[in-house]
Amino acid sequence: MQITQVISRQPSELGRALAVLAGRPLDLLLVFGAIDHFTHPAFRQALNELPPGTALLGCSTAGEISAAGVDDGTCCITAIDFDKVGLKPASTTLNGMDDSFAAGERIGRQIQAPDLKAVLVFGPGVRINGSALVDGISSIIGIAVPITGGLAGDGGAFRETFTLGRDGVSNNAVVAVGLCGDGLRFGHGSFGGWEPFGPARKVTRSEGNILYELDGEPALEIYKRYLGDHARSLPASGLLFPFAMLGDDHNAIGLIRTILGVDESLGSLILAGEIDANGYLRLMHASTDKLVNGAEAAAEAAAGMFRSAGETLAILVSCVGRKLVMGSRVDEEVEAVGDVFSNKATLTGFYSYGEISPFTPGSSCKLHNQTMTITCLGET
């Protein structure tokens, strides 16, 4: 496996950046970039000039990640040439939030194969139920095949996001690549670093990813009460105060849900993924140090699974909420990941509106919020 990475600082520089890849073997091009790149005419033109057969995969972001740290307004382009891994690209149009599970089924049918070992998937960051998407894919390929990836961003605006797949750039497509063959080496890790506050609250009315009531009260009313002055900035401030999903014993089950929107008329909260209609929720908050420690834990988990003597690609998908909390110290979580890999891996990735990964090795794949998820790719 050979890896080449280039970074475009301006949309007009995309052609020049991709020219660096001219003449190189190119199986998969991973692209994570700001909205200004994905909407620029030069972007599509540059992609049209790539060698035929190149698999395209990526999305717009709320911040770009590379070995240099965290950037805004750039485009990180990583070219991978595989020696032993086969690729099965897939793409489908997402026809609204209610189509999320079916969209996952369509992706699953396109990538299923006897030697399918793992899946990379990226979806729109708005008007999607990310957990239903993942469940739809797993319903076709089985829960034993790990799925990792994330939901696109648009710089924190939550208006319009873009994905890049075999059919080009789209604002409503789910895109994926199936990784096939025994030559693949794959590792993953996921960890948060958020801390709970306040009591556990019973979900008394919900539907999918819409939360209507907690303890018999309108969910939005309770949420505003806890946020205090921060409530004036909803829904944006919801990124700073996510929910932890709890079991019947009020212990956390490892999943966090971000608030993506509010409905004042119904008193409801729109979450990034589904919740247990009979479960419990507790509010969370975080400090930079805790989040950095969480990123390090995710890297250690991924590195512990991964065994490859050749080149390694580490794909980091972290939540935009973490970026907002850490502010000017956001580079520290990427540096912590880099320290774990000791500069033996090429880093790429982005800040997202939802992260996709198994929580632990062998467990089913889930949509996470407010986590750092890491995927390691290599070959035998």
Closest CA to 17 of 85, 64, 87: 64
User: In degrees rounded to 5, what are phi and psi of residue 157?
Assistant: -80, -30
Question: What DSSP state is assigned to residue 371?
Answer: -
Give me the pLDDT at residue 273, please: 84
3-state class of 95 per DSSP? Answer: coil
Give me the pLDDT at residue 56, please: 96
| 8 A C-beta contact, residue 295 and residue 282 | no
User: In degrees rounded to 5, what are phi and psi of residue 34?
Assistant: -70, 160
Q: How confident is the model at residue 371 (pLDDT cuts 50, 70, 90)?
A: very high
Residue-by-residue DSSP string for 265-330: TTTEEEESS---TT-EEEEEE--HHHHHHHHHHHHHHHHHH---SS-EEEEEEEEHHHHHHHGGGT
Give me the pLDDT at residue 53, please: 86
Task: Calculate mean pLDDT across residues 228-252.
Answer: 90
Give me the pLDDT at residue 361, please: 79
Write the single-letter amino acid at 91.
S
% of the chain with per-residue pLDDT over 70? 99
Question: CB under 8 Å to 232, separation ≥6 — which residues?
Answer: none
Q: How confident is the model at residue 235 (pLDDT cuts 50, 70, 90)?
A: confident
Written as six digits, the tokens of 292 are 């950095």
The torsion defined by the Cα of 100, 36, 355 and 112, in degrees rounded to 10, comes to 50
Give me the pLDDT at residue 42, please: 83
Per DSSP, what are the bridge partners of residue 86? 180
Task: Calculate mean pLDDT across residues 42-57.
Answer: 86
Q: How confident is the model at residue 18 (pLDDT cuts 50, 70, 90)?
A: confident
Alpha helices in the chain (DSSP H): 14-19, 35-38, 41-48, 100-111, 130-141, 219-227, 288-305, 320-326, 331-341
Count the neighbouring beta carbons within 10 Å of the beta carbon of residue 52.
4
Instruction: List, for residues 327-356, the tens digit of each pLDDT value.
Output: 999 999 999 999 999 878 999 999 999 999
Written as six digits, the tokens of 30 are 């991973």
pLDDT value at 366 more than 80: yes
pLDDT value at 294 more than 90: yes
Who wins on pLDDT, 300 or 22?
Answer: 300
Who wins on pLDDT, 255 or 22?
Answer: 255
Instruction: List, for residues 242-257, the tens digit of each pLDDT value.
Output: 999 998 888 877 789 9
Closest CA to 220 of 270, 147, 283: 270
Q: How far is Cα 379 from Cα 322, in angstroms, rounded to an integer?
A: 31
| 8 A C-beta contact, residue 110 and residue 88 | yes
pLDDT value at 306 more than 90: no
pLDDT value at 90 more than 90: yes
pLDDT value at 22 more than 90: no
Give me the pLDDT at residue 110, please: 98
Task: Calculate mean pLDDT across residues 136-140.
Answer: 97
Q: How confident is the model at residue 210 (pLDDT cuts 50, 70, 90)?
A: very high
Give me the pLDDT at residue 245, please: 93
Burial 221-257 (b: 16+ CB within 10 A, else e): ebbbeebeeebeebeeebbbbbbbbbeeeeebebbbb
pLDDT value at 70 more than 70: yes
Closest CA to 68 of 350, 352, 347: 347
pLDDT value at 308 more than 70: no
3-state class of 264 per DSSP? Answer: coil
Give me the pLDDT at residue 92, please: 98
3-state class of 190 per DSSP? Answer: strand
